[in-house]
Chains A and B, each alone.
Chain A
Amino acid sequence: MYFIYSVKRFVCRQLLVFFLAFLGGSAYVVAQSANQDSTVTGGVVDTDGGQVPAGGSQPVALDPAKVEAGKTLFNNNCTACHALSDEVLVGPGLKGINERRPQTWLINWIRNSQKVIQSGDKYAVDLFNKFNKTVMPAYDFSDEQIVSILQYIDQQNTGGGANTAAGGATDGQAVPSGGGASVTPGEGGGGISSQYFTIIIGALLVILLLILLVLVLIVSLLGKFLSERKDLPEEDRELVNQRIDVKKVVNSNAFKGGVALIFLLIVGKVAVDSLFNIGISQGYAPKQPIAYSHKLHAGQYQIDCSYCHTTVYKAKSASIPSANICMNCHNAIQTSSPEIKKIYDAIENDRPIEWVRVHNLPDFAYFNHSQHTNVGGIECQNCHGEIQTMEVVQQVSPLTMGWCIDCHRKTQVNTEGNDYYDKLLALHNSKEPLKVANIGGLECSKCHY
């Protein structure tokens, strides 16, 4: 009878080995596909980068050298206030400027716009008033230079048909689309490989189930074969024909006790866990009054944290930006979005935006941002997690005392180029690195007073 047992054992082992082998194999496949993804991404970016300048400098029926000179002049002097399209930036958009105004007028205007206005030219005065009397600076260009700029504008807006659509949009627009391309495939690649992963896991499950089925069949076949043998001793026959009486098992004290014990252990663990979670808001991610995305601002656009949280390097609190900081960009960007309209609404009604506080240390613990960011040189992400990937801010760290202390024990003090630490270093055992704990990072009164 040991035969059957050994077969069973063998089968079980094989199952395990199969499973591990498949898992290893799938991991390898996933890694391979990820590698391929990344190389593909590199290729896309390269070709894209190569195409952008080519589209931008397509000369059409105009003197290419002149247009090129005009492009340089335009980009260096005009783009701050004027767009090539009809979009109004600081001044009017320059699409169709050659049809709107005669060349001689344009030359005079660009050389000295104030002179044209003072001469009483009606169009010039109206234009000046229309744009809130913003003075266009005088440019000391030659006639030829101004004509080349005008030719460049003309070429970008009319010449080249399909090319204009791609290259004609200001360089500013053409480049970010390339930048976007370099981001999206990377994310797409991640999506594809994780998709592969689920498919592989699913396939593995199916295969394992099939194997299980086959093994059960084998076992039952072997059992049948053995039971048909007449020369089996009685003991073995009993073993082969063994039937599990479910009712008996369920009713047995051992089973009841076991189930109760397991249940109690699970519930007990959960209970203890949740008791230990009192006062810990880790994972707290409240809905904010405005759906502000750190992923977009800090991640995609790489705006520095301190641009909005202005006091993070100077003060105890990192500060929550007031609406005027939002308006530095959102006076022009996404002005029709309903979320942005909430900022306008708050400003018009002189009302605060009621952000929900995420990280809240109790008052018996003192924490100072500047001490950590400015003096300690700690990155924001160290405590706040990968904030640049968060759509909704979540409290990543537990903010418990153990968590603080742990970091104070592990973190080395950066003493380089700082005279303040000279004497401390001299006193400190120089064989071991100077940790925060060594300079009073574990003193009770550092944080509790």
Chain B
Amino acid sequence: MGDAPRPAPRTHVKKLGDSLLILALILAIWQGLYAYAGDVAISSPLNTFTFATGLLTHAPFWDHAAATLLAFAYALAISAAAGIALGLLLGLRRFAGDVAEPLLVSLYTIPKVTLYPVMLLVFGLGMSAKVAFGVIHGMIPVILFTLTAVKNIPPVLLRTARALQLRPLETATTVLAPAVMPEIITGLRVGFALTLLGVLIGEMFASQRGLGFLIINGINSHDVRMTTAVAVIVVVFAVFVNGAMLALDRRVHHARA
């Protein structure tokens, strides 16, 4: 409790320092891993950066990146839209929600790779399988966060909506939606990471295009620099987007905390 609030600039400097420290630590571990396992398993940080820079200026790489981004965009849009819609429905129909919630939690914990053969038979190779795989990873957390948010709305807000003579649709758009928004943004943040994971796994197993394919192709043709570089690029992308969503998340929660 004795911790006085620090002046903002020092906090920023401290945060930056912490981030740099973590980055240095990661690079050190990476370099250590490289020293231990050697060129056959992983390429060194310096080699990877040189290779990645070359890759980023190479047109075919962007075709693959575009394929992944497109699949990811579809999957995320479906996860978000269907997840929010189902979450709202299950949250409002309390009984259905009580039945569905434990089922969803169980589904969430299943290693979804085990479903992959089924997904392939249903959706075939290519775009739709990738998207479907992204969706089954990403949608469940969005449903669960939305459902919980709806269940936790203070009943007095809904009574207020009725006292203000709001019609059901108006209640949904002007009271329900903003009340659950912060939790949904948290759900989307979690859903984002898992959707990306799903799409990449999908590409690894059943695609001729995309960053996941580049990784698995690198493994198959023993191109260690390629696998390491693509993995690093994906990680950097994910960290940045996640950071942006975390900032949004905090902002939305902060305004009402």
**B partners with A:** no
Q: Which residues of B are in contact with A by a Cβ distance under 8 Å?
A: none
Q: Which residues of A are in contact with B by a Cβ distance under 8 Å?
A: none
